[in-house]
Structure 1
């Protein structure tokens, strides 16, 4: 090896040292309840992805509680947090930097209904979406779901506070609260949320959507880091293993095969969504919880 090549090799080696030794500090939105199960799985996915990168990292919640809407505003301004996980829509993908891998394999778009227990018989009689539209759903005022439901003919009641939405149904200011398969069972296990509410047993909505990790547009390096780790976890089969370990019981409880499922359009779904890649999506055919074979990483 010539002295010039040796010098170049040494320089490249030295350049790499800080990257290997660096510790990444990553802040995520602090939930309003430390027992909020909605953070458990996304953080597990994030840790899995980071494990596959080999980097050192510290993962912290933000100092303040941040709602979804506030989190997105702060991330866009590059303040307080390093990433959010959220349902995608066209505006969010314009303003932020997404990893287009649906961390819930699309289950976030499978919606069951929380209804007031004494109104259950009314919903049991429904057979068509026209009948369902007679009742008003409640959703977050800045959730993509609100626009999806409205565009499919529903008059939607909105609220700014997450806990308020359960009260809206209890007070019959809305007829039902559509919740995803990955959320509804943990919510029903919480006495504060589930009081006088029940999961309607024979109806469901489904619309194509994805929950992604989002980053500030300037944070390209961290986005690529997490994406690389996530793709490696998928190729190793570890992502599907985590997904089914976390959600198989919820899927079985949902009993989708025995429900009338109303398919909705999603007008806010970005064109870049990888809807044609079966590796990324859960289908009813996957009900036994068998992971699909991952592709070989090149």
Structure 2
């Protein structure tokens, strides 16, 4: 009869072998990972999330194919399809408590919270309204335009804004172009690419001296049942953070944009975010970009 020590060694060796075989199988199998197809395949807003996802997956060593969904999926529809395990198996979007209940978030802010740093798209006829804005109280007298299903809408409403809502972002640009609402707050991640198209079409421009900031994160989300994919993406992101490649991609993508928008010269009003889940890793300063000119002045 085998001694207890020999039996224990055999069990440990067997477990190690099984773990090795499972890991080898995971690396050898082809993972087909589908994300929501953007409105335009050249959409600059999707380029960074896709590049970061590729970087993270490369860090894991898995064999994968990353491809867009067969049809265009805007965020609301993509999240519903993800919840039902249909069409897509990863979506990047701004987080809130409801989304984290329904889906599995990978709690690494993929753009260091820039999704919550908002500059203002204006119709020229509304420009004079901003001349007298000296405080957040003044700002609340103006009407922002936002999407019906966006977490931003609830955040702005919770902070005392009367929000004009539309189904999706292109309609928001049309409404601003028609003089509806006073301003369209857009993330510094998005606004340059959008104004290149929508701004010209609607004769809009960017307010030059102010911004809003609220703490929030854009995460990768997967189905609650897809824990293996969640683990792969989280592992890859953490490895990219550790070796500096995450920061390198972030800086190369967004440093020129932040500079061109003059973020450090803007007066930034800070809002509360009541939708921010308690698990948000706010204490890890390495994961966040912090604007230099924050002000909560009322």
Match of 1:247? Answer: 254
Aligned to 1:30: 37
**Is 2:89–2:223's contact at 8 Å kept on the other side of the alignment?**
yes
Q: Which moved more, 1:118-127 or 1:203-212?
A: 118-127
The whole-number CA distance in structure 1 between the counterparts of 2:292 and 2:180 is 37
CA-to-aligned-CA distance 1:13-37 (integer Å, 9 cap, x gap): 5444422211100000111222221
Instruction: Map 1:124-273 to 2 at 5 A.
Output: 124-190=131-197, 195-273=202-280
| Superposed displacement of residue 229, structure 1 | 0.5
Scaled by the length of structure 2, the TM-score of the pair is 0.90
- 3-state DSSP of counterpart to 2:186: strand
Q: Deviations over 1:154-189 (max 9, x none)?
A: 111111122111011011111100001111111122
Q: Is the Cα–Cα contact under 8 Å of residues 94 and 218 in structure 2 kept in the other structure? A: yes
Unpaired runs of at least 5, structure 1: 287-298
Report whether the alignment pairs 1:41 with 2:64: no
Q: Distance in 1 between matches of 2:222 and 2:173?
A: 30
Aligned with 2:103 (options 92, 96, 102): 96
Q: What is the alpha-carbon root mean square deviation over aligned residues?
A: 2.1
Task: Say whether 1:81 aligns with 2:52.
Answer: no
Give the length in aligned residue pairs.
285
CA drift of 1:207 comes to 0.3
Asked if 1 retains the 8 angstrom alpha-carbon contact of 2:173 and 2:198, the reply is: no
Partner SS state of residue 273, structure 2? coil
CA, structure 1 residues 15+71, in 2 after alignment: closer, same or farther (shift >3 Å)?
Answer: closer
Task: Judge conservation of contact 2:144–2:185 (CA < 8 Å) in 1.
Answer: yes
* Structure 1 SS opposite 2:111: coil
SS at structure 1 position matched to 2:85? coil
Contiguous gaps of at least 5 residues in structure 2? 1-5, 294-298
Equivalent-residue separation in structure 1 for 2:243 and 2:121 (angstroms): 37
Contact 1:109–1:210 (CA under 8 A) maintained in structure 2: yes
